[in-house]
Amino acid sequence: MRDAGPDIADEVPAVAFNGVSKTYPNGTVALSDVSFAIRKGSIHAVCGENGAGKSTLMKILFGLLEPTAGAVLLDGRPVATGAADFAGQHGMGMVHQHFSLIPTLTVTENIILGHEPRKGLVIDRAKAKQLVRTLSQQYDLSVDPDAVTGRLSVAAQQKVEILKALSRDTRILILDEPTAVLSPPEIEELFHRLRDLRDRGMTIIFISHKLNEVRALAESVTVLRGGQLAGTSKLADVPDDAIMQMVMGRAVEVARRVPAQAAGPAVLVVENVSTDARNAADRIKEISLTLRAGEIVGVAGVEGSGQRGLVSVLSGLMKPVSGRIIFNGHDMTVADRLTWRRAGLANLPADRFGQGGAPALSLVENGIAGTDGDEELQRGPFLRRNAIAARVRGMIADYSVRNPGIHERLDSLSGGNAQKLIAARELATRPKFLIADEPTRGIDVAAAAFLHRRLDEVARSGSAILLVTADLDELLRLSDRVIVLFAGRIAAEFRNGAELTPDRLGPFMLGLKAAS
């Protein structure tokens, strides 16, 4: 049996999580009782939606966070977390999704940063360069040690990031969504390198959204959902749809919105719109779409599939490189944000405190921002204090915003109440077109239900709504139609109904199926 090859049961795993739980001081349960093991010298994939707990788990592994309960075993031994340079001491390196490189430094400088070879008081540059050369030969990752990092292509920068992660006797390499920034041939190249590293005995943890990539690369997979272990298994033992089931959760029967009897006239017509952006989240390709008055169109897709680009192009924040956008009969292809808003756009941004409002300004100020020229609220340039207070009190009452006082700062509100106030402001304009981008992410159930009812009412009153959400329950509850984005394209379009379930959307979201 020994001669036949390593036996999983006998071997001490490189990494083992033993009942790891993490509760944040604010009460958020990020992980509860997660246990799984990773075999030495294997590629292990970790999957899960946003907020499933992947990042928290990796931070715990890396010693950046202390688990509330449970332990992490490295090579079978429990380790004390919290030490400075914990990861370095235990031979762990991480390739971040957003590179941790300093663009103005050279490749060599970036790689040695934090553990520079010294000659007396100064950095031994000759030795440093030699180190980089040795590394890049050893792992067959060729880079120019003297190149300025920021001038390299994204794929080359990633190589630098990998070399940096490998530069300290690394035994465990963690890659956080490494393919998000790469083109298909570059992905192929990366996978080739990773398999090569594995064959040299490196243990690799590969975090990804994309099932096809997981299958192409990994030996085993762990799925997290809502902070819990949804499953851990050898990939050979599980079919795709089983993994998908684990990622998405069981299909919950949702109460769907009753769509308007007949959709109205077309409000927004998008024809073959593409953007040219570096970041995958901003990149869309040949999107065509029509939104009718009274209709809610849901946009599904794993994060970074082009949702942000679509929203930006349809709200005057980004200009498409080709295609045409007609809003309300006017060509708005290159219109700016103010033109869009004046034409009847309202927007609930995903970044509530960064874009939806000014956290340091008061509820009153946030409530009336953007109402320039409203005669009721100002006389000449002067704001009418009482009228404004009355207006904001009305908004707060209508949307039952729990608040400590209307002159307090916006960030004194909870996320749900802040979002209600933002919604009150945006919907007060009676928009012809509303973009609701993750309208209920991170907010409590009651506030979410309230906002859902409001969105339904707004649609009934004749607005066209584009609902971008990662929450499939929300998507299916509200949408009349659903489009699925994958890699910037519309991978599928469905009319919502009882037969539309997460299972049907899943393969398109994960890129396993494409529009025929």
Partner 1 sequence: MNRSILAGLIQLVVTAVVAAAVVLIVLIPFALLQPAPLAVLTSFLIGPLDSVRHIGNIAEVATPIALTGLAATVIFRSGLFNLGTEGGFFLGGLAATAAVLLLPLPGFAAPLLAVAIGAAVGSLACIVPGYLRIRHDASEMVTSLVLNYAILFAGIFVLNYVLRDPAAGAMMSYRIPAEARLERLLPGTRLNSGAIIAVVACLAAGVWLFMTRPGLNLRIIGASPGFATHLGLPAGRIVMAAQVAGGLIAGMAGAIEVLGLYPRFSWTQLPGLGWTGIVVAILARENPFLVLPAALFLGYLQVGGNILSQEVGIPTEVVGLITAAIMLTVTASAIFQNPKLLRLIRRFRRAEVQPS
Q: Which residues bind partner 1 (CB under 8 A)?
A: 22, 24-26, 28, 30, 50-51, 53, 55-56, 316-317, 336-341, 347, 349, 351, 354-361, 365, 368-370, 372, 378, 381-383, 385, 407
Q: How far is the CB of 316 from partner 1 (least distance, A)?
A: 7
User: Between the CA of residue 283 and those of 304, 483, 485, what are the distances in Å?
Assistant: 9, 16, 11
Q: Which is nearer to partner 1, 385 or 430 (CB)?
A: 385
Q: How far is the CB of 277 from partner 1 (least distance, A)?
A: 17
Q: How far is the CB of 64 from partner 1 (least distance, A)?
A: 9
Residue 119 burial by Cβ neighbours in a 10 Å radius (0-12, 13-18, 19+): exposed
For residues 32 and 228, is the Cβ–Cβ distance under 8 A?
yes
Q: Which is nearer to partner 1, 28 or 212 (CB)?
A: 28
How many other C-beta atoms lie within 10 A of the C-beta of residue 235?
Answer: 20
For residues 365 and 358, is the Cβ–Cβ distance under 8 A?
yes
As given in the structure block, the two tokens for residue 239 are: 């079919």
Report d(CA 162, CA 174) in Å as an integer.
9
Residue 488 CA neighbour count, 13 Å, CB half = 20
For residues 475 and 303, is the Cβ–Cβ distance under 8 A?
no
As given in the structure block, the two tokens for residue 198 are: 């594995």
Say which amino acid occupies 323: G
Q: Which is nearer to partner 1, 30 or 107 (CB)?
A: 30
Q: How far is the CB of 30 from partner 1 (least distance, A)?
A: 4
Strand, helix or coil at 490? strand
For residues 353 and 411, is the Cβ–Cβ distance under 8 A?
yes
Q: How far is the CB of 407 from partner 1 (least distance, A)?
A: 6
Consecutive H or E run containing 402: none
Q: Which is nearer to partner 1, 309 or 349 (CB)?
A: 349
Q: Which is nearer to partner 1, 235 or 364 (CB)?
A: 364
Q: Which is nearer to partner 1, 281 or 505 (CB)?
A: 281
Q: How far is the CB of 199 from partner 1 (least distance, A)?
A: 32
As given in the structure block, the two tokens for residue 171 are: 């035994």
Q: How far is the CB of 59 from partner 1 (least distance, A)?
A: 9
Consecutive H or E run containing 261: none
Q: What share of the chain is helix, strand, coil (3-state, %, to 5)?
A: 35, 25, 40
Q: How far is the CB of 361 from partner 1 (least distance, A)?
A: 6
Q: Which is nearer to partner 1, 55 or 501 (CB)?
A: 55
Q: How far is the CB of 296 from partner 1 (least distance, A)?
A: 21
Consecutive H or E run containing 274: strand 266-274
- In the sheet that holds 489-495, the strands lie side by side as 345-348, 433-437, 464-468, 296-300, 481-486, 489-495
Q: Which is nearer to partner 1, 28 or 461 (CB)?
A: 28
Q: Which is nearer to partner 1, 239 or 381 (CB)?
A: 381
Q: Per DSSP, which regions of 83-155 are E strands? A: 92-95, 118-119, 122-123
Report d(CA 366, CA 373) in Å as an integer.
16
Q: Which is nearer to partner 1, 337 or 460 (CB)?
A: 337
Q: How far is the CB of 337 from partner 1 (least distance, A)?
A: 4
